[in-house]
Amino acid sequence: MLFHVEMVVKLPPDMPADQVADIKAREKAYSQELQRQGKWRHLWRVAGSYANVSLFDVNDNDELQEVISGLPLFPYMDIQVKPLCRHPSSIREDNT
């Protein structure tokens, strides 16, 4: 199943710099592993903000919840999820 996910990162302004660096490094490693596995299909920065638009390809809602709640930045993000399905006018056969 494909999901459009928008994440807006809201780190506390008073979080110490070394803690910020650590959480961002762990987030990067976690997201890159999911990208290698093909579960995090697209990752785009939203220009002008500390936010991203992502496309996840996971088995079901439960797996999406598991993956997203494992993000090190999860406690510091507002997250919006939109489930996607095939558009009847799409010429793609493989949902890529």
Beta strands at 2-9 and 51-57: parallel, antiparallel or unpaired: antiparallel
Binds ligand MUC by CB under 6 A, chosen from 27, 41, 53, 81:
27
- Per DSSP, 91 falls in state -
Binds ligand MUC by CB under 6 A, chosen from 1, 2, 11, 73:
73
Q: Which residue type occupies 65?
A: Q
Identify which of residues 31 and 58 has a Cβ nearer to ligand MUC in the complex: 31
Residue nearest ligand MUC, CB atom distance:
52
Identify which of residues 27 and 63 has a Cβ nearer to ligand MUC in the complex: 27
Binds ligand MUC by CB under 6 A, chosen from 31, 57, 64, 68:
31
What 38-41 contacts at long range (C-beta under 8 Å, 24+ apart), as own/partner pairs, is 39/63, 39/67, 40/67, 41/2
